[in-house]
Structure 1
Amino acid sequence: MSTEYDYVIVGAGSAGCVLANRLSADPEVSVALVEAGGPDDKLEIRIPAGFKKLFKTPYDWDFTTEKQPELNGRRLYWPRGRMLGGSSGLNAQIWARGVRADYDGWEVPGWAYDDVLPYFQRAEHRIGSNAGGVYGTSGPLHISELRSPNPLTGLFLRACEEIGLARLPELNGPEQDGCSQTPVTQYRGRRWSAADAYLRPARRRANLTVLTGVQAGRVLIADGRAIGVECLDGDVLAARREVILSAGAIGSPHLLMLSGVGDAADLRANGIEPVTDLPEVGRNLQDHLSSGVIVGCTREITLASAESLANLARFLFRRTGMLTSNVGEAVAFVRTSADEPAPDIELVFAPAPFADHGLTDPPGHGMTVGVILLRPESRGRISLSGRDVLIDPCYLTAEADLRRLVAGLGRALEVVDSSALRPYVGPPMTPYWGARTPAELARWVRERAETLYHPVGTCRMGADDASVVDPELRVRGVAGLRVADVSIMPLINRGHTHAPAVMIGERAADLITGAGEWQD
């Protein structure tokens, strides 16, 4: 079967939902949104603290990396959303854009901080505080404060101030050295994903077709132009105007390679005839690597009791209580040395013992100060094994990455040792064994560090001919084909990646329709 549309969008994640809404706003065009996963219809998607219940289920792609030599040869689990809303349906809801230096540092015309700020603000519907007018207030994506923050979260912020970190009036200003309670993508105490914000309002439109449970197999390219998408079930979705890949930092380069767009020698080695030789497809992979300090809590006030029937009732009937927690309730952005141009480490506070992605719950009450490497120097790659995807982040292959993580763990220990938290801190909690010296902390990182779920960069955008996409997100060498998701980011942001994914979707919509065209 073949069905024809003006635009075919592959991937209903953060950017894909934005594009489906914005492009279908023109009643004269037809839009198809193709999602390999199903509807976002599970209760745990709505419950902010329930995201760990979605890992390794049909709502998750459940990826695994190649063995990482610098992490004791471990293969790391990488969850990614496989549903309407994509990873915005199973993330920790943190809205952290990054800083001015991130976007100015891309050095791509039309994508500097002042260029992209209006697109962040177009998306945002800030509820509550908005000091300095940092946020947009009329967009579709609700950004709110936590309804029922844990009492330990306020103590963490006091501890940060005690060790010299400033309390930020708002997190998402152009600079963010300091600490803050986390702004979250929630509405009245429940998760507010990209599907909630963008897709549901648009689905009533007759010119938008949303296909779930349909996995794209390749982009069809004829005479140098993308003409449609062939799905694994054999159906073809023809595109009169454009095919737009919004399948994320793994899915988008994978689809390009399956379609013959990538390193020509690698494609031939995997039995795929090259259409366009673009060696950088799949390269430049960056991710935020995470470690942390996990300690017991001397009082029974943590999220360890969040899943009680009483808390479920509070959530269902009042939208309050522990289940409205996003788990990462506060953050601090720090520089490990005066030479850093912007924060290089993020501390994320969880009023719970969080290890193994929350898949195993250590017994008892505890707290976690996570340590995130914000600007890794290591670069990995997405590649093929036949038609299967291989993920090799190459963690810690740059020496500076381990040094910064160890320094960040040192700052986390300062927080734990502060007078503000000291009365509540118990002994180290499994699996943390109490590492404290630089050598011990380096060993701890290699033993247990995990992803913070932020892969980017594998379809790098640039004005140079070697980039995968140009500043208008057009794939080089193939007409009618764009990539619009975090895979286009030349450098990872010093924040979390849901916010830039939404911004990229908003900016892409303007580029496609001509409202925000960049001129050569």
Structure 2
Amino acid sequence: MVEAEEFDYVVVGAGSAGCVVAARLTEDPTVTVALVEAGGPDDHPAIGVPLGALELFGSEVDWAFTTAPQPGLGGREVPWPRGRVHGGSSATNFQMWVPGHAADFDDWHPSWSWERVHPYFRRAERWAGEREAGPEFGTAGPLWISPQRDPDPSSTRFLDACAEVGLKPVEGGLGGPDNTGCALTPVTQREGVRWSSADGYLKPASGRPNLTVLSGRRAERIMLDPDGRATGVRLADRAVTARREVVLCAGSVGSPHLLLLSGIGPADELRAVGVTPRVDLPGVGRGLHDHMILDLAVHAPDATRFLQDGREQYERDRTGPLSSNIGEAVAFLRADGGDGPPDVELIWSPMAFSDDGDPIPGYTVGVVLLRPRSRGRLTLASADPAAPPVIDPGYLAEEADVRTYVAGVRFAERVLGAAALRDLHTGPVVPWPADDAVADYVRERATTVFHPVGSCRMGDVVDERLRVRGVPGLRVVDASVIPEAPRGHTHAHAVMIAERAAGLLREDRG
């Protein structure tokens, strides 16, 4: 007989959003919560070290997904790392806290405007160090947001180069309503150590008697009663039931995958793989898209800081190369030079890699497409919960994306050629074309920057209160509900969504 446990809420996924939801709900001692996580505790030795993110790809804390072959990338398959550990991808990412631009929320339901959501960014934040004058930032939240602890000198030279080509420093620093311009990257670190959602939310809540964390357990399907209401989650060895609601926080891959396995999605497609449809909801998995990055690496014979063993310095005072999040500075701009919010991001990294993936003396400018028009899908490969889904982000399916990308590359060339940088490097590691062939270069080399969104899109799959359409008692609370890729980095958005969702859950309970 399968063991069953009952709680008020069952939260699936202890990642960027799930840690927030579980912690906020259990602030009420009368509410019981089960937090289900396929991974385990965040005790991998590389997790706390900022530069250790490079060691986590393909490790035991990574789901290590791979996309379907991408026609827009010449048929390439792209690795898709996602955190499988307490803290989720916030325990494995590059720690950049970039909430984006106020105009991002013009594409959301009106109740999710910038004016309505920015207090939830602030509620999460605990900014360390002094801030410049500008928008109000959070100072008492669970997530420590810090300036770069020991930035490489080249990172400030990058900002000088941006100024030479017309990009001013971001007014008030990143985190306000307009991120156009350049800045050193704020990071989710505390005194030089990574600070994930598990650190900020889950660990302080872990001693509460009303929170039960079920680690190392994969959710196999959502249980529905005869009327179609979500009543809990089926694990391999037990049923975990919810008196009030089931909350999916499994991310842009895990949440749609679990919906589809449970018979919630496009009915014909579900039947084709042997899943009995329960709720015909065509939007599930559709609308998937992602930020892409193209690394423009340049040789710099003197850039040897990241080729040295910095363990002793890091252990002594949490400085040196191991304290770097790799993406130390950013710039946000419109590639066409016009007015309006940015559509391209440049990420400065004071290190470089050869075409074989080996670290070499050099620097890198990553060109990121912020507002892709291309859309893809996430579908089932099998009714087996252990089988990974088919991930097709539809990279560069739209020519408009390629044109914006090319313009972004040309702008990055101007930055690299500015006086502040030109004497630091000796030219490209892998030369990019100076003519129209740069579009082919983009298709051959661009890859993910780990920000998938849209697979449970607000409006199509969930309503403005994040309730799954047609399934009472079920919500999705993570980056999959984001309708359009933000002009920022999605860890901040996942936390904001979860902070607000916790309030919505409390309102609906009361």
Q: TM-score range by the shorter chain?
A: over 0.9
Cα offset, 1:422, TM superposition: 1.3
Q: Any conservation in 2 of the 1:302–1:367 contact (CA below 8 Å)?
A: no
Name the residue aligned to 2:217: 214
Paired AA for residue 257 in structure 1: L
Name the residue aligned to 1:382: 378
Q: Any conservation in 1 of the 2:38–2:215 contact (CA below 8 Å)?
A: yes
Cα offset, 1:360, TM superposition: 2.4
The count of residues paired between Structure 1 and Structure 2 equals: 501
Query: Aligned ranges for residues 85-96 of structure 1 at < 5 Å?
Result: 85-96=87-98
Q: Any conservation in 2 of the 1:66–1:392 contact (CA below 8 Å)?
A: yes
Query: Aligned ranges for residues 259-338 of structure 1 at < 5 Å?
Result: 259-305=262-308, 308=309, 311-338=310-337
Paired AA for residue 292 in structure 1: D
Cα offset, 1:300, TM superposition: 3.5
The Cα offsets for residues 142-167 of structure 1, whole Å up to 9 and x where unpaired, read as 00101110011011110110111001
Q: Any conservation in 1 of the 2:125–2:139 contact (CA below 8 Å)?
A: yes
Cα offset, 1:435, TM superposition: 1.1
Secondary structure of 1:46's partner? coil
Secondary structure of 2:294's partner? strand
1:453 and 2:423 aligned: no
The Cα offsets for residues 380-408 of structure 1, whole Å up to 9 and x where unpaired, read as 10001123410001111111101111111
Query: Aligned ranges for residues 156-195 of structure 1 at < 5 Å?
Result: 156-168=158-170, 169-195=172-198
Paired AA for residue 456 in structure 2: C
Give the Cα–Cα distance (whole angstroms) in 2 for the partners of residues 468 and 508 of structure 1: 16
Cα offset, 1:427, TM superposition: 2.9
Q: Any conservation in 2 of the 1:298–1:423 contact (CA below 8 Å)?
A: no
Q: Any conservation in 2 of the 1:143–1:186 contact (CA below 8 Å)?
A: yes
Query: Aligned ranges for residues 419-430 of structure 1 at < 5 Å?
Result: 419-429=419-429
Name the residue aligned to 1:22: 24
Name the residue aligned to 1:227: 231
Name the residue aligned to 1:116: 117
Give the Cα–Cα distance (whole angstroms) in 2 for the partners of residues 39 and 110 of structure 1: 36
The Cα offsets for residues 421-454 of structure 1, whole Å up to 9 and x where unpaired, read as 111112322xx2x113242321211111100000
Q: Any conservation in 1 of the 2:47–2:56 contact (CA below 8 Å)?
A: yes
1:490 and 2:494 aligned: no
Paired AA for residue 502 in structure 2: A
Give the Cα–Cα distance (whole angstroms) in 1 for the partners of residues 67 and 289 of structure 2: 13
The 1:257/1:103 distance shift into structure 2, 3 A limit, reads: same
1:365 and 2:364 aligned: no
Q: Any conservation in 2 of the 1:300–1:365 contact (CA below 8 Å)?
A: yes
Query: Aligned ranges for residues 15-164 of structure 1 at < 5 Å?
Result: 15-106=17-108, 108-130=109-131, 131-164=133-166
Give the Cα–Cα distance (whole angstroms) in 1 for the partners of residues 261 and 408 of structure 2: 40
Q: Any conservation in 2 of the 1:159–1:415 contact (CA below 8 Å)?
A: yes
The 1:304/1:266 distance shift into structure 2, 3 A limit, reads: same
Cα offset, 1:355, TM superposition: 6.8
Q: Any conservation in 2 of the 1:292–1:412 contact (CA below 8 Å)?
A: no
Give the Cα–Cα distance (whole angstroms) in 2 for the partners of residues 351 and 332 of structure 1: 15
The 1:123/1:253 distance shift into structure 2, 3 A limit, reads: same
Q: Any conservation in 2 of the 1:410–1:436 contact (CA below 8 Å)?
A: no
Secondary structure of 1:5's partner? strand
Give the Cα–Cα distance (whole angstroms) in 2 for the partners of residues 369 and 361 of structure 1: 17
Name the residue aligned to 1:343: 342
Paired AA for residue 361 in structure 1: D
Name the residue aligned to 1:501: 494
Give the Cα–Cα distance (whole angstroms) in 1 for the partners of residues 423 and 42 of structure 2: 42
The Cα offsets for residues 196-253 of structure 1, whole Å up to 9 and x where unpaired, read as 000000001010011110000000001211011001x231101111100000001000
The Cα offsets for residues 35-82 of structure 1, whole Å up to 9 and x where unpaired, read as 001110012100001101010011000000000111111000000000
Cα offset, 1:301, TM superposition: 4.2
Task: Give the TM-score of the pair, scaled to structure 2.
Answer: 0.96
Give the Cα–Cα distance (whole angstroms) in 2 for the partners of residues 188 and 203 of structure 1: 23
Deviates more, 1:233-242 or 1:195-204: 233-242
Cα offset, 1:314, TM superposition: 1.7
Q: Structure 2: state its 5+ residue gaps.
A: none
